Amino acid sequence: MEGYNLGVRKGAWTGEEDDLLRQCIENHGEGNWHQVPYKAGLRRCRKSCRLRWLNYLKPNIKRGDFMEDEVDLIIRLHKLLGNRWSLIAGRLPGRTANDVKNYWNTRLRMDSRLKKVKDKPQETIKTIVIRPQPRSFIKSSNCLSSKEPHIQTVENCSTPSQTSPSTKNGNDWWETFLDDEDAFERATCYGLALEEEGFTSFWVDDMPQSKRQCTNVSEGLGRGDFSFNVDLWNHSKQE
DNA sequence: AACTCTCACAACCGCTGTACA
DNA sequence: CTGTACAGCGGTTGTGAGAGT
């Protein structure tokens, strides 16, 4: 493969190979896959190493059956995004694109639940997809103290006015987010919003995995911590 | 018990996108 | 602008386990 087929192993990985790969990535970090086989002392191609790490060895990978809400999310996202497995998996913490794809191909493709969604009358299921728009939060002492994020739009973004979205327990729904300075620092992100049957859910890409949760805005925080910005929330309401 | 079939999952392959010289 | 190397993605295939006959 890729010019160095000679002596390259294929097929199932052994425990020993897994250990070598795990150790290599612990020592050198993720990335530079072309160097990984050499550094790890593995007779595997870089693709095989990468795939093994991403789909099996990487910490925080969730094993076992998909939960009902995960399945529901897969169905909805597939309806919107098609076979873009990595995008779908990105919104399911701990699940890999391969897992999602396999699950879809083996269990969901003919699932009756798909038919149910498909058969719903148009007026009861309204889906708005807000295509990703890059946005940045500017960090300043002002906005931190006021809990009011200053949103800077990046080119090609129209910016609706900022008004406060719904609250829960008297707290602003982005409060958790602002308290996490690390997440805040890297909050330039792409997002996806879904409005279905009277509620809106948001996902934001390019966030720490732990923050990448679904947020049901109409009920305040919904489940999970937060990961979104007011701007897009307002945008969705205008649709 | 032996064989066949089906399912679930791991892994491979080829292609595309991106960065960089 | 072009060519090259590399990373990443999605389609496909291989394989083992369990169910059915």
pLDDT along chain A (239 residues), means of 10: 56 87 87 86 88 87 83 82 84 86 80 52 37 33 26 26 29 36 37 45 41 35 32 33
Name beta bridge partners: A204: A191
Distance A109 CA to B5 C1' (A): 20
Nucleotide nearest to A102 (CA to C1'): B9
| C-alpha to C-alpha distance for A27 and A97, rounded to whole angstroms | 25
In CATH terms, the fold of domain A68-119 is: Arc Repressor Mutant, subunit A (1.10.10)
Edge-to-edge strand ranges of the sheet holding A191-196:
A191-196, A199-204, A215-216
Which residues fall within 8 angstroms of residue A77, CB to CB, at 6 or more apart? Answer: A87, A88, A91
Enumerate the nucleotides of strand B whose atoms come under 7 Å of any protein CB: 7-14
Domain with CATH 1.10.10.60 in chain A: 68-119
Amino acid at A229: N
User: What CATH code is assigned to A15-57?
Assistant: 1.10.10
Nucleotide nearest to A86 (CA to C1'): C9
| A72: nearest Cα among A113, A124, A118 | A113
| C-alpha to C-alpha distance for A25 and A44, rounded to whole angstroms | 15
3 state SS of A45: coil
State pTM to two decimals: 0.59
Nucleotide nearest to A51 (CA to C1'): B11
Q: What does the DSSP 8-state code read for residue A209?
A: G
Give residue for tokens 């879809």. A104
Angle at A85 between CA A82 and CA A90, to 5 degrees: 120
pLDDT of residue A113: 53
